[in-house]
Structure 1
Amino acid sequence: MTVPARHLEPVSALAAERERLAAVRRYRILDTPPDGTFDTIASLAARSCDAPVATVAIVDSDRIWFKAAHGLHGVSQIDRDPGLCASAIQHDTAYVVTDALTDPRTAANPLVRGEMGVRFYAAAPITTADGHRLGTVNVLDTRPRDASEAQLAILGDLATLVAQELERRLSSICTITAERAMRTRAERLVRTLQRTLLPPALPGVPGLDAAGAYHPVSQDEVGGDFYDLFPLDGGRWAFFLGDVCGKGAEAAALTSLTRYTLRAAAIYEPDPCAALGNLDAVLKGEYQSDPRFCTALFGVLAPEPDGSFAVTLAGGGHPPALVVRADGTVEAVDTPGGQLVGILPEPHFAQTDLRLAPGDALLLYTDGLTEARTPDGAMLGDEGLIAHLTSTPFEGADNLLANVHKLLTELGAGVSDDTALLALSVPRRFEPSGQEPLR
């Protein structure tokens, strides 16, 4: 069945208008704040045509919205129907009304019959690269007149500038949107990768509270800090914390190798210094042409009949751990002479023994914490950290890490490197009668 052409035209016009409105939405220009570029274009249009009023107008579905208006104060939009701009966008070329009061196309328009009393109107369509007319650059006057070919040519050039500016802005918006999406994907990838380098959760150790935390400085770069806690035979437990050189994918690979090497070494030889020596040999063998190194603390916990834990701790060039005693005093656990892992010809690793009694805690941290700057610009250092812990009571591993997290938050921008934390605490023991806790 053949449909008469008169039935096709309205459908075609509606489809074209839908496409045009889709283009208007595509440029994301409606209801945006004033902009100097478009204000300048409106001003140039008015001056070039010797007209008191000029606008950069976008034709929406039910309104004419002014991106810029020269000589038209307090008006940001008007109804579309009937509208001068709405008529102008039906034409590919300049649209001119020399006397709106006598022109049947515009005689009933509120701008003509109303207080403004428009008599002259000239406009050039703002046409996109794919042929959609979004609106106009136009001039208005309250006296009937004509426009020269030169003036209409200028309006056409200004309308082209508007279209080019809209394209440029759309390109910028798309670029920014894409960059944000890429950054979001990258951040998700970094977080996922970072999680694979740390234990998803620390295991429960009978008679001991354990807590670990990682505080990244950047959301888009993988750090090289690591920690772990895992069981050995005979009721003992191994733990370690450290920091590899560098950041990014190479640091992630080094961190993964370091973590799993220490785990494997502890199973076959739980002596802390031997575990660090094994890691040193693996790193040297893996990175012969491009040496890589790390710092680390490696320890073994052994429960005692009285509820305390015997700890053997070895150091390889890492900041000392801190023991926070039940009475609030803080002691540094030095492993003097412990050297970097993976780079020296014959490194020396040192170890020491200590005891964690009920109420005591052991804190391991990477140097992102102590190298942070205080508000006066000084480095926090071991002494500053000890002073903070001494002045702030704690109860348990979680509370100790919350205390350190509060410190990192207070230092704010002074923290310039990632920080890994591992806290191990022995719960206090209380007499059933509520007497003083046993030590």
Structure 2
Amino acid sequence: MTETATAPAGGLPEAVFDPERLAAVAASGLLDTPAEGTFDDLAELALAITGAQKAFFTVADGRRSFWKAAIGLDAGAVRENDIRDSPCHILIGTGLPLIAEDAVNDPRIRDLAAVGALGIGAWAGYPVVSPEGHVLGGFCVVDQDARPFTPGQTRALQTLARSVSSEIALRQALRQARAAGDASAALARTLQDSLLPPRLAEAPGMDAAAAHLAADATGEAGSNVVGDFYDLFHTRGKNWAAVMGDVCGKGVDAAKVTALARYTVRAEAGQHTHPSVVLHRLHQALAAQRVSDRYLTAALASFRPAADGVGVVGRYASAGHPPALIRRADGSVEELDAPGTLLHPDLPPAQDALKDTTFRLFPGDALLLYTDGITEARDRERGPLFGDARLARTLAATRGWDAARTVDHLRRAVREHSGGHAVDDTALMLLRVAGGPA
């Protein structure tokens, strides 16, 4: 069941005035700008799917909710309202969807001025987020009468909200690249940076580190720098998730898939505890959105503190991705694999081919997620690949090390092996349970 927002206690949520969120709103470049076909089309689609009368994409600063898209209103209508009057501030405060099927009797929104002013009988909305994860506003539909929203309709709204978030991320990356006068390779580099978390979240009791190693900046491989991505994020309760993915290809098309994948996994992992289900939902989003025909591999681990308080327990699923590795506290290395095929819009539904594997990490144990750029690394003379066995031995040699030192050791080892030559991007992320032998 989808977790939905509850109304904030008293006044406006502190998140509305968070300086980092307000900076992200300003950086979006959307406030006080004219309507655009890209966003209006998504809002029109929301109406077609739900049968509602009005649809909005809103961007909210600290005082008002600006309607970048407002379908179902008169062309000359004012395109904003006070942030205190809009349900949008609830989305910002919670980061969760808000589904109010009987608005005038729903204690979360019934006293908001917008309910009467806009004739809201039912309201359903999802957060729109920045590349850094800040809630910029919301994507919602409004019905004049109280009514239920079916699971299919709410899933569609969620997908459309993710599409808006993806569009914003790509626009910002393109603006940054153009401002710097970048050529195509540098543009792809900027896109990559916009689609990787600027810093990893801090999961309780875990030590985490990640690295992204860019392919050579010249030749064909030099422009293939936007396919790898990773993320670590809280889902709900005590649950966390870590994802690693690799999109085939290069340039803006690959970046579009990367953006859709990252936001889809974040959204779906908050609703489903089984990684295989999340990856299946990602496959459905790829087929529905068809932002590109690129292939995608992904590995997803969900985890939480063990019931006995010792380490963490989790589930792992893979969609055609290299198997994760577990480095035990004693230095031994185990392969964590799960069946699953790679994802592509034209492939059959992957649900039956995706399976979960359970795992447990004790103090001092670590989980490594990576892309095949590390195992396929070789020098310019096309010498031996770095390979799976060498990766396992290199990881085993980091017994007792923290996450940052371990990732740095792996990065240095692959660079030394390849002589600094890289034909493909490489991404690494290591999660270590605190404690264990030094």
TM-score normalised per structure 2: 0.53
Aligned to 1:104: none
Cα drift, residue 188 of structure 1 = 5.2
In structure 1, C-alpha distance between the alignment counterparts of 2:395 and 2:300, rounded to whole Å:
22
Higher relative contact order (CA 8 A, sep 6+): 2
Two-structure CA RMSD over aligned residues (Å):
2.3
Cα drift, residue 213 of structure 1 = 1.2
Aligned to 1:368: 373
1:134-149 maps to which residues of 2 (within 5 A)? none
1:50-65 maps to which residues of 2 (within 5 A)? none
SS in 1 for 2:335: strand
Q: 1:339 aligns with which of 333, 338, 341?
A: 341
Q: 1:313 aligns with which of 311, 316, 319?
A: 316
Q: 2:289 aligns with which of 283, 286, 298?
A: 286
Cα drift, residue 339 of structure 1 = 0.6
In structure 1, C-alpha distance between the alignment counterparts of 2:184 and 2:244, rounded to whole Å:
26
Q: How many residues align?
A: 249
Cα drift, residue 391 of structure 1 = 3.4
Residue 240, structure 1, aligned to residue 243, structure 2: yes
Cα drift, residue 414 of structure 1 = 4.8
Q: Specify whether residues 188 and 413 from structure 1 end up closer, same or farther in structure 2 by C-alpha distance, changes over 3 A only.
A: closer
Q: Specify whether residues 380 and 409 from structure 1 end up closer, same or farther in structure 2 by C-alpha distance, changes over 3 A only.
A: closer
Q: Moved runs in structure 1, 4+ residues, more than 6 A?
A: none
Aligned to 1:378: 384
Letter in 2 for 1:360: D
Aligned to 1:262: 265
Aligned to 1:417: 424
Aligned to 1:227: 230
Q: 1:295 aligns with which of 278, 294, 297?
A: 297
Aligned to 1:41: none
Give deviations 1:18-66, integer Å, cap 9, x for gaps.
xxxxxxxxxxxxxxxxxxxxxxxxxxxxxxxxxxxxxxxxxxxxxxxxx
Asked whether the equivalents of residues 369 and 415 of structure 1 are also in contact (C-alpha less than 8 Å), the reply is no
SS in 2 for 1:296: strand
Q: Specify whether residues 311 and 208 from structure 1 end up closer, same or farther in structure 2 by C-alpha distance, changes over 3 A only.
A: same
Asked whether the equivalents of residues 276 and 354 of structure 2 are also in contact (C-alpha less than 8 Å), the reply is yes
Cα drift, residue 182 of structure 1 = 8.5
SS in 2 for 1:318: coil
Cα drift, residue 344 of structure 1 = 2.2
Q: 1:399 aligns with which of 395, 400, 405?
A: 405
Asked whether the equivalents of residues 386 and 414 of structure 2 are also in contact (C-alpha less than 8 Å), the reply is no
Cα drift, residue 428 of structure 1 = 1.5
Q: Specify whether residues 365 and 206 from structure 1 end up closer, same or farther in structure 2 by C-alpha distance, changes over 3 A only.
A: same
SS in 2 for 1:284: helix
Structure 1 range deviating more: 371-380 or 302-311: 371-380
Aligned to 1:203: 201
Aligned to 1:353: 358
Cα drift, residue 266 of structure 1 = 0.9
Cα drift, residue 199 of structure 1 = 0.7
Give deviations 1:377-410, integer Å, cap 9, x for gaps.
1222211211222234451111110111111220
Cα drift, residue 415 of structure 1 = 3.0
Q: 1:272 aligns with which of 271, 275, 286?
A: 275
Asked whether the equivalents of residues 396 and 426 of structure 1 are also in contact (C-alpha less than 8 Å), the reply is no
In structure 2, C-alpha distance between the alignment counterparts of 1:311 and 1:269, rounded to whole Å:
13
In structure 1, C-alpha distance between the alignment counterparts of 2:190 and 2:400, rounded to whole Å:
32
SS in 1 for 2:429: strand
Cα drift, residue 187 of structure 1 = 5.8
In structure 2, C-alpha distance between the alignment counterparts of 1:323 and 1:194, rounded to whole Å:
27
Aligned to 2:112: none
TM-score normalised per structure 1: 0.53
Asked whether the equivalents of residues 394 and 400 of structure 1 are also in contact (C-alpha less than 8 Å), the reply is no
Q: Specify whether residues 200 and 384 from structure 1 end up closer, same or farther in structure 2 by C-alpha distance, changes over 3 A only.
A: same
Q: Specify whether residues 413 and 203 from structure 1 end up closer, same or farther in structure 2 by C-alpha distance, changes over 3 A only.
A: closer
In structure 2, C-alpha distance between the alignment counterparts of 1:319 and 1:308, rounded to whole Å:
24
Letter in 2 for 1:214: H
Q: Specify whether residues 346 and 184 from structure 1 end up closer, same or farther in structure 2 by C-alpha distance, changes over 3 A only.
A: closer
Asked whether the equivalents of residues 329 and 400 of structure 2 are also in contact (C-alpha less than 8 Å), the reply is no
SS in 2 for 1:367: coil
Structure 1 range deviating more: 386-395 or 314-323: 386-395
Cα drift, residue 192 of structure 1 = 2.9
Asked whether the equivalents of residues 329 and 399 of structure 2 are also in contact (C-alpha less than 8 Å), the reply is no
Asked whether the equivalents of residues 316 and 349 of structure 1 are also in contact (C-alpha less than 8 Å), the reply is yes
In structure 2, C-alpha distance between the alignment counterparts of 1:216 and 1:253, rounded to whole Å:
18
Letter in 2 for 1:308: G
Letter in 2 for 1:424: L
Asked whether the equivalents of residues 229 and 240 of structure 1 are also in contact (C-alpha less than 8 Å), the reply is yes
Larger Rg: 1
In structure 1, C-alpha distance between the alignment counterparts of 2:285 and 2:201, rounded to whole Å:
27
Asked whether the equivalents of residues 207 and 307 of structure 1 are also in contact (C-alpha less than 8 Å), the reply is no
Q: Percent identity?
A: 42
Asked whether the equivalents of residues 216 and 422 of structure 2 are also in contact (C-alpha less than 8 Å), the reply is no
